């Protein structure tokens, strides 16, 4: 079976190298839990035994372009998704051949390409690939996913800014005196930041004038977990399904 480039690649085989890489392996069982308005929770990562694989990297994919049609995504000639990839949709961490890879985005079931972009994938390395910006300026960024060994008393959280018409932002958590992040611009991310386990009201604020742009109340950040908070959608839009919001993704769960 071909490596990576197919979401249906079975998780027990997929995660062998991540077991050696992160001590407890990883799997991604994508799910959604509505927390507030369209604030959502997606998950996660686990441990399996599996046969040896050739050198691989591992990539998850998130569709953050607010006005793009349903999409297909390819790595070289290999189609990654089996169902249409829509706004705010995600694909699990999957194994990919290492080296220079060409990623192509096309409308679902169409031959024409909207964008092609090359990335170098390194062995035993975990990445998140984000599709972003409006359709007229469609882009892809590849982010290396690096976090500390999780502990029971803390969660690790990063912000990824994918809203093309929103200024620089920062995150504030209730029960804390200082912002969790520095100013984060469109297409940037904060890196993973450790924070005590707790239930927080999360505010995304403008770094320009301090205005609260999005608020998600009563968000539980659990220990032994690594999260990504995605700022998605448009600040100025009449489409309720594309308005500025946040989505919480669980990248990794450390089972003890």
* Residue range 161-175, pLDDT digits in tens: 999 999 999 999 998
- Band of residue 156 on the pLDDT scale cut at 50, 70, 90: very high
How crowded is the C-beta side of 69, counted as CA atoms within 13 Å?
10
Residues with Cβ < 8 Å from 179, sequence gap 6 or more?
Answer: 170, 171, 172, 205
What domain count does the chain have? 1
Domain-located, residue 135:
yes
**What are the Cα distances from residue 195, in Å, to 87, 97, 192, 214?**
29, 34, 10, 20
Tokens of 205: 């604020």
162: containing domain? 11-253
Taking the C-alpha atoms of residue 146 and residue 40, their distance in angstroms, rounded to an integer, is: 23
Domain-located, residue 3:
no
pLDDT tens, position by position, 17-70: 454 344 444 443 333 322 333 344 443 333 345 566 689 999 999 999 999 999
DSSP state of 242: G
Residues with Cβ < 8 Å from 152, sequence gap 6 or more?
Answer: 197, 223, 224, 256
Taking the C-alpha atoms of residue 39 and residue 24, their distance in angstroms, rounded to an integer, is: 29
Domain-located, residue 31:
yes
Q: Give the pLDDT confidence score for residue 92 in this predicted structure.
A: 84
Cβ pair 246, 201 in contact under 8 A: no
Q: Which residues of 63-77 are buried (b: 16+ CB within 10 A; e: fewer)?
A: bbbbebebbbbbbee
How would you list the strands of the sheet with 71-75, edge to edge?
78-79, 71-75, 99-107, 115-121
Domain-located, residue 176:
yes
User: In sequence order, what are the beta bridge partners of 154?
Assistant: 196
Domain-located, residue 1:
no
Domain-located, residue 198:
yes
- Band of residue 5 on the pLDDT scale cut at 50, 70, 90: low
Domain-located, residue 5:
no
Look up the pTM and report it. 0.84
């Amino acid at each position: 079976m071909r490596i990576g480039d197919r979401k249906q690649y079975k998780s027990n085989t997929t995660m062998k190298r991540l077991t050696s890489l992160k001590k407890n392996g990883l799997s991604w069982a994508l799910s959604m839990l509505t927390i507030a308005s369209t604030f959502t929770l997606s998950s996660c990562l686990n441990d399996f035994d599996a046969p040896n694989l050739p050198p691989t990297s591992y990539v998850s994919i998130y569709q953050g372009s607010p006005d793009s049609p349903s999409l297909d995504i390819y790595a070289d000639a290999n189609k990654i998704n089996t169902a249409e990839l829509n706004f705010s949709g995600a694909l699990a961490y999957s194994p990919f051949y290492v080296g220079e890879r060409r990623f192509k985005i096309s409308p679902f079931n169409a031959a024409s390409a909207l964008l092609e972009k090359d990335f170098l994938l390194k062995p035993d390395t975990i990445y998140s690939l984000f599709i972003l910006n409006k359709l007229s300026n469609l882009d892809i960024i590849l982010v290396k996913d690096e976090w500390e060994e999780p502990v029971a008393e803390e969660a690790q959280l990063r912000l990824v800014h994918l809203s093309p018409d929103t200024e620089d932002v920062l995150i504030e958590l209730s029960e804390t005196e200082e912002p969790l992040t520095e100013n984060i611009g469109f297409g940037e991310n904060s890196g993973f930041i450790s924070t005590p386990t707790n239930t927080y009201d999360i505010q995304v604020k403008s770094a320009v004038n301090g205005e609260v742009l999005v608020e998600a109340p009563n968000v539980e950040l659990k220990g032994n977990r690594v999260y990504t908070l995605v700022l998605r959608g448009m600040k100025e839009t009449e489409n309720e399904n594309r308005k500025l919001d946040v989505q919480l993704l669980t990248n990794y769960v450390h089972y003890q």
